Chain A
Amino acid sequence: METNVAAQGTGSALPGAKRRMPPEFSIFLVLIGIALVYEILGWIFVGQSFLMNPQRLTIMILQVAVIGIIAVGVTQVIITGGIDLSSGSVVGMTAMFSASVAQASTWPRALYPSLTDLPAIVPIGLGVGVGLLAGFINGQLIARTKIPPFIATLGMMVSARGISKWYTKGQPVSGLTEQFNFIGTGIWPVIVFLVVAIIFHIALRYTRYGKFTYAIGANVQAARVSGINVEAHLIKVYAIAGMLAGLAGVVTAARAQTAQAGMGVMYELDAIAATVIGGTSLTGGVGRITGTVIGTIILGVMTSGFTFLRVDAYYQEIVKGLIIVAAVVIDVYRQKNRKKA
């Protein structure tokens, strides 16, 4: 541990004496690399450009925007050293709840006939609120009972899926108002994703909330002794993650113009994958929203590229699994090297 860094020290702190490359840079290079590989393969096998196709790129980013919204919350959870497996089910549950108060009076089989044609803010608020509540319960379980986050959110994952099926006895909810559907149209989901990303990028980097989040992930004991109310903070972090999953549920329903109990299945894994690919360490204390945004886009490019090359969907899943494992292996390797250094 007695490295020469200390020995060579100047005796005073010189800010910025050593400029370090932001860690996102290498992830960004990976993204560029993958895109270029597709570009070359595209010309060889399909006879067209992968990148010079704005329509494809738009579809690609739209496909992952919802995952990205979830991943912004998951990133914060993972920075504290936790995990959230419930986000996919929370998407399904909040999609159902919000859609049920977003139906138009013109729809003959409205779930709540007296609650039709409401302004869009009501279903959006309900979806986000239900997500927040689910996350708050996760946080309470983890902070108060000290059960591992894996188990607490696994329970929420199963229960929330059950609630979404129970809510309409498995029936889809359709006939949603134009106003509600609007946030799912065009480029809006991407805008929601980017706004969310910017907000929490700022929150993590420049607010006390962010500093405490990293501190808890780096060393929870030290964080507690430094006066941080660890329990209260964890509840906040999980509630935010739930809220963002709720927002993702609203966007999913609006985009599909309908809600089904099976929405969002496996989204939690995609969100975790995007986070980990983006450089957030599963051991906690390390990670940035910018990395997660790039990780999300990498996921999108991978999927879109496979479709572009007409690779079978089965292979896509197999490769996605490998990439997730590879990202974690790289992280473990990085941690080990760090300790040796």
Chain B
Amino acid sequence: MTLSPTTMAAVRASGAVPNAEYLLNVEGIRKEFPGVVALDDVSFRLRRGTVHALMGENGAGKSTLMKILAGIYTPDKGEVRLKGADIRLKSPLDALENGIAMIHQELNLMPFMTVAENIWIRREPKNRFGFVDHGEMRRITARLFDRLKIKIDPEIEVRHLSVANRQMVEIAKAVSYESDVLIMDEPTSALTEREVAHLFEIIRDLRSQGIGIVYITHKMNELFEIADEFSVFRDGKYIGTHASSEVTRDDIIRMMVGREITQMFPKEEVPIGNVMLSVNNLTLDGVFRDVSFDVRAGEILGIAGLVGSGRSNVAETLFGVTPASSGTIAIDGKTVSIDSPNTAIRNRMAFLTEDRKDTGCLLILDVLENMQIAVLQDRFVKGGFVAEKDITAACEEMSRKLRVKTPNLQERIENLSGGNQQKVLIGRWLLTNPRILILDEPTRGIDVGAKAEIHRLVTELARNGVAVIMISSEMPEVLGMSDRIMVMHEGRVTGILDRAEATQIKVMELAAS
């Protein structure tokens, strides 16, 4: 029997909700995005009155599953049963009305409205003239806060609240919908220890009231402190569910990374030269601290870490996009001050950014214009005029070398596949003849063939004496390509591993510490 969301809401309202053991029962979910299978035959159950943690590396499929539960995505295949009844959620609002509330990592409150207005938006109590009854709104907010032991003035504008308090407001809002299921996405990432303790108190309270909580976290200690059960995902697949009292930290890490490395990486030993880049105590206030490492000519330094660990921020700072607050960068033994991408390029650095669309491609321009833009800073220009013939020849040669599939250089880059766009952007940087190449997720979202070609190319660059820094969320890629792996966690370097000693488990331990 499939109930429409409205019927479901009516059933809820009548109080005749079947008292099933599982609040949520998800089976055989599949979700595809162009080019990737985000979830493949995934199952998941949430018991009444429990906290259930979702664990997994970046890209394991946690977020996709959570977004399906919250009505943001609809699954391609599979069933979602809410308290025993089949349900198909069409929107986040639909989910909310069916008792599933999600608290996003980036909070969705309106800063210039009061706490009470934010909580009751769309459902404001009205007086008999049809105007909003602010007195009543204040009273019901106070009652709600009492129940949750939250101490926030309902009349204050949200913009004056700390992140922790905003989070409390979000939770109160979710509870005000009388939700049975609460989904929390890394709720503690911006909280202090005391705030976390308060949050956990509230979570335990909600749990004792029979609410089921889906809790996404990267932090092991939280798992043991708050979660009753946990499910592990890996590469879009469901690995298993266990009670958190039954396992150890190591068990979980093994479940998270326990894949076999089947992909081949063309890693070859190349002579390692002198230190090309030396970074000392690099700090960007509030983002990362005291990052120190060296990269030698011909060496590939992998940077691993979970999303939010500060990996990409370090790359951006090295390249002058967000200049450092303190610390030093030395190239070839000489301390340099890199305050903009322009000075970075002048020091023969190159930076392939993480987000191809946002910070890489000039989407509406053609392949030639995309490829030439960086090198025009100091070459192929005479008296202000671009040496069209030379630059076109150089770009043609580069696209031949990188095997860019495009009808011609006059094709708009947006008409190319992701892999070919990436090759054009790599070409953009190779034309500048860099000594230091920073690659942030160089193979994200591109097909296997192009991936292998990019790996080969990176190896070849290393052989030619380029110092390579490669950030990647894909563990096999980092392990397969790097000479050394630097692992980051919450804005700090937690360890640098040599190729010989690096294993998935070791990297994961450092990343999740």
Interface residues, chain A, with chain B CB atoms under 8 Å away: 1-3, 5-18, 20, 206-209, 211-212, 214-215, 218-219, 221-229, 285-286, 338, 341
Contact = CB atoms under 8 A, between A and B. Distances in A.
A221 B363 contact: no
Contacts of B376: 208, 211-212
B319 A225 contact: yes
Contacts of A11: 403, 405
Contact of A13 (B341, B396, B417): B396
B37 to A, nearest CB: 15
Contact of A222 (B319, B344, B362, B367): B362
Nearest to B403: A11
A208 to B, nearest CB: 5
A3 B359 CA distance: 22
A221 to B, nearest CB: 5
Contacts of A2: 34-35, 417-418
8 interchain residue pairs of minimum CB distance: A9-B405, A218-B362, A227-B345, A6-B417, A226-B374, A221-B359, A227-B342, A5-B415
With most chain B CB atoms within 10 A of its CB, the pick from A3, A14, A218 is A218
B359 A228 contact: no
Contacts of B321: 224-225
Contact of A3 (B353, B400, B415): B415
A211 B372 contact: yes
8 contacts: A3-B415, A11-B405, A208-B381, A212-B376, A221-B359, A223-B362, A225-B341, A338-B414
Contacts of B473: none
B407 A14 contact: yes
A211 B414 CA distance: 18
B388 interface: yes
Given A207-B385, A208-B381, A215 B392 contact: no
Contacts of A10: 405, 407
A301 to B, nearest CB: 30
Interface in B334-363: 340-342, 344-345, 351, 353, 358-363
A13 B35 contact: no
A1 B414 contact: yes
Given A11-B405, A207-B384, A1 B417 contact: yes
B386 interface: yes
Nearest to B346: A227
A226 B404 CA distance: 20
A13 B409 contact: yes
A9 B410 contact: no
Q: How large is the interface on B (under 10, 10 to 19, 20 to 34, 35 or more residues)?
A: 35 or more
B342 A14 contact: no
B156 interface: no
B406 A5 contact: yes
Contacts, number: 137
Contacts of B35: 2
Interface in B371-412: 372-374, 376-377, 381, 384-386, 388, 392, 395-396, 399-400, 403-411
B197 interface: no
A227 B377 contact: yes
A218 B377 CA distance: 18
Nearest to A20: B410
B407 A211 contact: no
Contacts of B381: 208
A8 B408 CA distance: 11
B410 A18 contact: yes
Contacts of A13: 367, 395-396, 399-400, 404, 406, 408-409
B64 interface: no
With most chain B CB atoms within 10 A of its CB, the pick from A18, A222, A285, A286 is A222
Contact of A15 (B34, B341, B365, B396): B396
A212 B369 CA distance: 10
B373 A223 contact: yes
Nearest to A19: B410
B416 A5 contact: yes
B141 interface: no
Contacts of B399: 12-13
Nearest to A209: B384
A1 B373 contact: no
B126 to A, nearest CB: 38
Given A215-B365, A218-B364, A222-B361, A15 B384 contact: no
A14 B342 CA distance: 32
Contacts of A1: 34, 414, 417-418
B428 A226 contact: yes
A14 B340 CA distance: 36
A3 B414 CA distance: 9
A16 B364 contact: no
A211 B420 CA distance: 22
B439 to A, nearest CB: 13
Contacts of B404: 9, 13
With most chain A CB atoms within 10 A of its CB, the pick from B367, B400, B405 is B405
Given A206-B388, A211-B373, A218 B410 contact: no
A207 B385 CA distance: 4
B353 A225 contact: yes
A206 B373 contact: no
A9 B400 CA distance: 12
A6 B420 contact: yes
A310 B232 CA distance: 79
A6 B411 CA distance: 10
